[in-house]
Each structure stands twice: as structure tokens, then as C-alpha cells.
A and B are shown apart, each in its own frame.
Chain A
């Protein structure tokens, strides 16, 4: 990785009227990094990406991509970055090859280079034997990979992927990530949003956005490691779904979730374990067993948001607006 960051955001802010979609967000992404961008719908992820791609002007603050100011050098930037949006634009009544030719031309490629890049794209997306298939007839997983390679035809140094694998099955998702890894290993910077936390685990670092603000930015291992030893427990007991309702009301239980035949608890401090078990036994649960376990990324995400306190988190209090939904 080179020393110059591929992406820099500094106090980046975007307002829509009185609504602050992105609120003083600062971070840096290294060249060749796979940078995951997590957060609820409406957290400000897409707005941030649109600013970084030069599609939307920041209201305040500064951002640069590959050393180019996104507000001033948007035009120059366009040819050096790739952007795959949530609703990527492929033409369903054109074939795979025709789509690639169209997008290649749009990025200013022609002649031998265009042909060479189309050949690369077909191979990378494992679509060689389908290059004459109409895009409308492709299975979803191939759609997504085609959209990805289309965004890479002009060999951008930074690529922004907005929920690229939504609705794709695990095998396809995995092949998609193989391709992303190949790109990153070769030095391309990959900036990706996802709702799949198992997918976030593949990123070198992840940023967590909530209500326009950047709440956390670290490696997944570090985010999971923020819990003190003994504060994350796996509970085995009879009728765990019913036990969940009991445990949520116990003091010191920060988070509780049902995992099939077990429960996961996050406690405020390790000393609470005994107390919690006693409570459960007091409520009539007999065969209760607790084992310390490692936090999942989901627990880390939920916990980080909950730590904000109800007002900032938006809506943990019953009856308030559902958290995660920041709407007009």
C-alpha cells in the first residue's frame, strides 16, 4: 500500500434542506484497501459515496479521491473511478457483449483496447460462454458480476460498490468477492457498502455510519474485540425464545438475541453473569448453562449504536421512530 491515501474525507457534510444526511464525516482509505461501509438504510452511506464520486456537491467539508478534489475536479475524477450503484444500469435487451461495448465506449475506450478490456471483463465475470446472452436472461448473480466488470472496464484505481451483492446466493457472492480480492491485491481500492455482516468480515477495515455520523472505523477483529472478556455469553436453556423476554428486563443486560436453541447476551460487565443466571433460574428455567463466547460483528454493530443513548440512536424507545430509519 502506498502512503498516499486513495480516499480522504474531512468533516464531509451534506444537507438536504434542514435534514443532515452526512454529518462531519472524516476518514481515509489506503490504496489497495477493501473498505467496508456499514449502516442502516438512511444512515448516509449512499450520499457519502455520491459525494466521493463527484455526483453530489458537499454542503461543507472536503473530500478527495486519488488526490483530486471531488467538488472541483469531478470531471477528471470520473475517468479514474468506477461506480456500481444499487440499481446498476445494464440494458436487459442488449447482450452481455453489447452492454460491455456500450459502457466501454461511454468510458472513452475504443479499438483494440476496448476489445482487450471486453475480453478481460468476460473472463473476470466468468461470462465468456454467455457473451451473446441477453442480459435480461442472466441469473441474478451474473448480473451483478457483469455490472461490476462493466464499472471496471476503464481500469479505475478506486471503485465504489453500493450494495453490490444484494439478493445474490452465497456461492455467487463468494465468486464476486474473489474478484474483488484480485483487484485489491493488484492495487485497486475497493469501497463497498453491504448489509451482509459475513461479507463485511472480508473487508480490511469497516466504517459504521448511523444517522449521518461515523460511529466507528476499525478492523472487524478490533470491533469485535471491544467487548471485555466474560461480557458476551452464550446461554443454553429450555424454551430460549421465552427466556429472551425475561433476560431483556434484567439489569446489566445490554443486548440479547435468540440464536436457534441458544441465546447470546452482552453484559455491561463480566461480574454480571452469575446474577443473570440466578434471575433466569428464579423465573423457573431449570437447565441453564452459560459459556463465554466471542462477539459477532452484528453484536458489535448493534452495541455501538445502542451505546449512543436513545436520543442520538434515533429510536430505541418504544413508540419512537424505528431506529435505522432516518426519514424526512
Chain B
């Protein structure tokens, strides 16, 4: 996206309404591992909130607490104004949760899986809703197929349908489209858009930053803390410095030369060239060009480009290269 205008205050959820989900200084420890170190979060009706962050940042733990599957070690977690853990049974009827590894029964058909989850969730009139949802994601013609014989994308769609059978008011999705192709992903989000229009609230953890762009607000988690909380376009503007696109030949010389320029923080391959981050918001492009030319590079392009969400993500969560990292 090019030169986006500054975000005007857009009408989202009506402000006075109480939060659908609220976490206050929530901590979670597994033994000595502190998965969450004080998470604050407020989600309002109709919002689509994305959770991004490196592996082990606390995305899944946050969702599990909201789903009433995990009791916070400290802090307050509420859903529809009710403390989650003591009310989890009741609340689970009002929320949908799609785990990273959702268990469908491979030896049951699409329809049998749905019937099973309808029974489990205590949904009485599931047939009509199931049919509408299956139609919406294009699975209706496959309702008699065994779940094992569905492609990865179709399985995810079926899992989504199962998590929506009881018409939840809030839907928690944990990396729902990992390994799913762009077309299927688009269909997935198309259905979510309809549900959002009907007032569903959505929380989605995703490693795909282009997917996070579909959210109204994005939380960047890192080491169990909230590092940033902003709409995607504002999050991009949090990038320290700016991004410069550089291409030239020979590529190997360019690559080597870029690594030696002190003003470039972070050099990433991008199409025929590179994207580099400078700490200077108005970098001296001439100087960069000159330095590259002096190193024997024929410079083709050296221009500022808008930061992507990924650029910002990587800059904000930057870990020193080659430093030992804790296993998640």
C-alpha cells in the first residue's frame, strides 16, 4: 500500500459499551517458565484483534486463558464482564475456540463431525446453521466425505464451521490458516467478515503478517508482554527509522557491501534487491549510493519505501543475531 493517509478516527465499536473480553495484568507461569508477564487487553464487540509475535511470545497462552482452558497465575481475566475461570463452563457456551491442532475425527464424515460437535456443545437446531455455514465455505458438496479425505484447507474450514455451530459471540482462533493456500485463506476471511458484520468479536493469533492486516487492531506480543497495541497501519508507523529499497549488480557484491554499511540495520532480500532499515527517518540516499558504487556495485535503485508490518515486527522484536534463544 502506498502513502496511506493518516488514520481518521473511524467508527468501530461504540465506545461506552463494556469490553467483551478484558485482561488485566494477567500472568501465567508453567513451573519456572513465565509464559505471560502481565498482559493488558481490552476487546470490544465487533472488533477483529490480531495477536502477533514470535513463537513463545504468549499468543496461545492468552487465547487459552480467554477460552477458560487455563487459569491465570495472577491478574484478572473477564469475558462478558464475568471472571473467566470460575464461570468457564457457562462462558464456553458463548465462545468459540479453534485450536492450532483441532481434532476432527478422520473416520467420520463432514456431517458426522458436525453432529458430534453439535451434541458436545449442546446445540439443538444445528442442521440449518450447519448447512448455511458449509455452503458459505463451499463444503456443502463434501458433507458425506470422510474428514481424513479432505485437503488441509478444507479441514480448517470444517473446523471453523464446528467452532461456529453454537453461534458464539466471541471467536478465538489460534493460527487458523497455517499451511492454508491464499485462495482458501481468502474464503476463510470472507466468512469471518460476514460474522463480524453480524457483531461477532474475533481474536486471532497468526504468524502471517498479511493476515494481521485484516484485523482492526493488532497486539504485538513479545516474551509474555504486550509490546504494541494499535491498528495495523499505525503499528507500521512505529518502525524505528525507515526502509530503503536497494537493488544493483552484481548481486553478490551488493550483498557483501550492504553488510558493511553502518547506517543499515537490517538487510533483507526482497525480489531482485534488498530492503534495508536505517535508524535515520530521512536517510541520506546519496551517501548509500556512493558507498555502494565505491564498493563496485552498479546501483539500479535506492529509494525509500513504506514499511511493511513485517519490517516493524522484526525491528520491534529484534533479537541479537546468533544469540542463544530459549526453546518455547
Contact = CB atoms under 8 A, between A and B. Distances in A.
A261 B1 contact: no
A185 B209 contact: no
Interface string B142-185: 10000000011110010000000000000000010011111111
Interface in A236-253: 236, 238-239, 241-242, 244-245
Given A241-B193, A302-B183, A325 B11 contact: no
B141 to A, nearest CB: 6
Interface stretch (B37-45, B106-114, B269-277, B288-296): B269-277
Contact of A170 (B175, B179, B314, B327): B314
Given A41-B151, A180-B269, A293-B1, A319 B216 contact: no
Interface stretch (A69-77, A99-107, A111-119, A171-179): A171-179
A66 interface: no
Interface residues of B, number: 76
Interface string A281-302: 0000001000101101010011
Contact of B151 (A137, A181, A185, A327): A327
Interface stretch (B25-33, B63-71, B316-324): B316-324
B16 interface: no
Contacts of A327: 151
Interface in B213-252: 213-217, 231-232, 251-252
Interface stretch (A15-23, A47-55, A200-208): A200-208
A296 B1 CA distance: 7
A126 B319 CA distance: 14
A322 interface: yes
A170 B214 contact: no
A150 interface: no
B193 A244 contact: yes
Contacts of A220: 271
B207 A245 contact: no
B88 interface: no
A184 B157 CA distance: 37
Interface in B117-145: 135, 137-142
B310 A198 contact: yes
Contacts of A219: 271-272
A228 interface: no
A273 interface: no
A236 B4 CA distance: 11
A190 B139 CA distance: 36
A198 B313 CA distance: 13
Given A198-B308, A260-B213, A322-B154, A203 B182 contact: no
Among B208, B308, B319, B321, max chain A CB count under 10 A is at: B208
A260 B141 contact: no
A138 B327 CA distance: 7
A324 B10 contact: no
A318 B251 CA distance: 48
A296 B210 contact: yes
A221 interface: yes
Contacts of B4: 234, 291, 293
B154 A238 contact: no
B319 A171 contact: yes
A143 B5 CA distance: 41
7 contacts: A41-B153, A177-B269, A185-B251, A245-B197, A257-B186, A260-B213, A260-B215
Given A196-B208, A239-B11, 15 more contacts: A38-B182, A40-B153, A41-B152, A177-B268, A186-B252, A195-B185, A198-B208, A238-B10, A257-B189, A261-B10, A261-B231, A298-B182, A298-B186, A302-B183, A325-B184
